[in-house]
């Protein structure tokens, strides 16, 4: 099959995309739990602080992942065995 590398690349990128999505879902669920806990206790300042911190952690990690994918794209393509084209 001449398309075997294409199937391999699709599987590898599918797994990477799935991992990134699941990590972002985990941050979202953890944020809801923390903010809800503080909100239920009536500690609205703590709820706001945890929401602020979760926002910045998510933003920074998203930027790190984006920079890794952008700057490491050549190495990723080379690791997957793709042409320079």
CA–CA gap between residue 36 and residue 44 (Å, rounded): 10
Burial string for 38-65 (b: 16+ CB within 10 Å, else e) reads beeeeeeeebeebbeebeeeeeeeeeee
Question: What pLDDT was estimated at residue 39?
Answer: 93
DSSP 84: -
Q: Which residue has the tokens 């065995």?
A: 81
- Residue bearing the bigger pLDDT, 84 or 69: 69
Quick: pLDDT tens for 18-72: 888 898 899 889 999 999 999 999 999 999 999 999 999 989 988 998 898 888 8
Question: What pLDDT was estimated at residue 13?
Answer: 75
Number of Cβ within a 10 Å radius of residue 13: 12
């Amino acid at each position: 099959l001449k398309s075997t590398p294409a199937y391999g690349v699709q599987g590898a990128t599918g797994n990477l995309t799935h991992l990134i999505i699941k990590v972002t879902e985990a941050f979202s669920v953890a944020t809801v739990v923390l903010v809800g806990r503080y909100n239920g206790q009536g500690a609205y300042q703590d709820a706001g602080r945890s929401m602020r911190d979760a926002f910045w952690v998510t933003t920074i990690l998203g930027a790190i992942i984006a920079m890794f994918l952008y700057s490491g794209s050549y190495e990723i393509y080379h690791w997957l065995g793709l042409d320079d084209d």
